[in-house]
Structure 1
Amino acid sequence: MYLGAFLAPAAVLLVAKGDGGQIAEAADVAPVAAPAPEAVPAPAQPCCVEVVAAPGVPTAHLTAEAPAEEASSVELVSASRWRVVSRTLPAGVAPERGLQVRTILAARSISAIFPEINEIGGVRSDALRWHPNGLALDVMIPNNSSAEGIALGNAIVAYVLQNADRFGIQDAIWRGVYYTPNGARSGGYGHYDHVHITTTGGGYPTGNELYFR
């Protein structure tokens, strides 16, 4: 068996001027500090299925490949006890119709890592192409003006930024700050009630994709 640690990454957001967000009075908002990306091995690809890999689960979990006859992976629970769990990501709260594969991967991963999120917007009409083309998500933050809500939005930005390569993150926006994998800049970007995330898409799904943790 091969053991691989899967980390629960932290993330960043995306900017699109045509995307509506609440504009707060304060313009100076400290950017979220994004940790350096960590290499996460891609899961093995099953036969005859296009696989879209997803980020790891929290660091407390270790995963290992199951025997060939098993379809699930094996999670190490203790030094002497194992249990079989699925590595595939189920659909989350985001409507996936019209989303491209990397956007779906980001949405499912956010739902899995942040169960507090109960609404993620996807395809909608907009002056810019990101939402209409399935390239953008609006992760709605509960109690967005509270300390807890702000911390949750910050954590989501950090998570997507740390997984920028895996999710194909182009940018993200949260509380007046525009984030990219190369840095952030503050001022006038709105998005105080949700984290806006833009991906590079990766094409529309064919129906044969599997999305992995």
Structure 2
Amino acid sequence: MGRHELASSRPKSPVLKAVVVAPTLAVFALGGSAQALGAHHDTEAVAGAQPACCVEVTASSPITSSWAASAVQPNDGAGEAAPASRAARWRVALNAAPRMLPVGVANERGLQVKTILAARAVSAAFPEITNIGGVRPDALPWHPRGLAIDIMIPNPSSAAGIELGNEIVRFAFKNADRFALQDVIWRNTYYTPSGPSGSGYGHYDHVHITTHGGGYPTGGEVYVR
């Protein structure tokens, strides 16, 4: 393992005001505000306790990262992705009507809300992924604190495996704001929302994703595509 560096203008009822900033992916809490891990963590997607019947999901303009995620071609990449990637089709298909994200293949115990959102979204967009690691002991804080997931790639050294990893990296950065993304590591390259930032990080068999957490679940969260 390498180093890990890691909202419609429509009036709301007096019972609830909920803002979910995401055209296709959002996360909010129905059971209370989440506990922030630190002052730098994003908690805007976690709203106050309200009945599930009254939650209103709205969409806003997408926020993209500052670099061209479509250009991700990590070391020994298998070439450019098809113009209409699975990740892009997934986002377009879900843009009209938000739906709940089911639990994916990751063990969510100990994960923070933004990390859970990222794990569920990857599971929904890439059904061939059957193993996503989460909380585990580590000398670095990201996995133990529920800020990181490891997306294991089937046949990671094959051309298909490499391209699958590349596409997951692109998917992560297309959704960087919604995931409160901190970084991604894949095939020896460390990526941030500002762009690739160095090599020598290993991770040839899995894509590592780190988020800013958003606080720990309280038990009433609903994760929306």
TM normalised by structure 2 equals: 0.63
Deviations 1:103-132 (A, max 9, x none): 000000000000010000000000010000
| Alpha-carbon separation, structure 2, partners of 1:40 and 1:191 | 31
Q: Give the gaps of 5 or more residues in structure 2.
A: 6-21, 31-49, 63-87
Alignment counterpart, residue 196 of structure 2, candidates 173, 178, 184: 184
Aligned residue in 2 for 1:162: 174
Q: Deviations over 1:54-90 (max 9, x none)?
A: 99934245524xxxxxxxx6xxxxxxxxxxxxx1000
The CA deviation at 1:178 is 0.4
Cα distance change of structure 1 residues 188 and 164 upon mapping to structure 2, 3 Å threshold: same
Q: Are residue 96 (structure 1) and residue 108 (structure 2) matched?
A: yes
1:175 matched to 2:158? The reply is no
Q: State the 1:17 CA deviation.
A: 1.4
Aligned mates of 1:206, 1:52 — CA distance in 2: 20
Give CA-to-partner distance per residue, 1:157-199, whole Å, 9 cap, x none.
Answer: 0001111110010001000110000010342110000000000
The 5 A counterparts of 1:130-141 are: 130-141=142-153
Structure in which a larger fraction of residues adopt helix? 2
One-letter code of the match for 2:191?
Y
Q: Which one has more relative contact order, counting CA pairs under 8 Å at least 6 apart? A: 1
Does 2:29 align with 1:17? Answer: no
Letter in 2 for 1:120: I
Q: Conserved in 1, the CA contact under 8 Å of 2:2 and 2:200?
A: no
Q: Which runs of 4+ in 1 moved over 6 A?
A: 41-46, 50-56
Q: How many residues align?
A: 159
Is residue 101–residue 205 contact of structure 1 (8 Å, CA) maintained in 2?
yes
Residue matched to 1:142? 154
Q: Separation in 2 of the partners of 1:185 and 1:163?
A: 19
Q: Is residue 2:207 matched to residue 1:195? A: yes
Identical amino acids, percent of aligned pairs: 60
Contact 1:100/1:201, CA 8 A, preserved across alignment: yes
> In 2, Cα distance between the equivalents of 1:134 and 1:53?
28
Letter in 1 for 2:92: T
**TM-score scaled by length of structure 1:** 0.66
1:63 aligns with 2:46: no
Give 2:195's aligned amino acid.
Answer: G
Partners of 1:136 and 1:48 in 2: how far apart?
A: 30
- Aligned CA RMSD, in angstroms, stands at 3.2
Q: 1:40 to 1:141 in 2, by over 3 A?
A: same
SS class of match (2:210):
strand
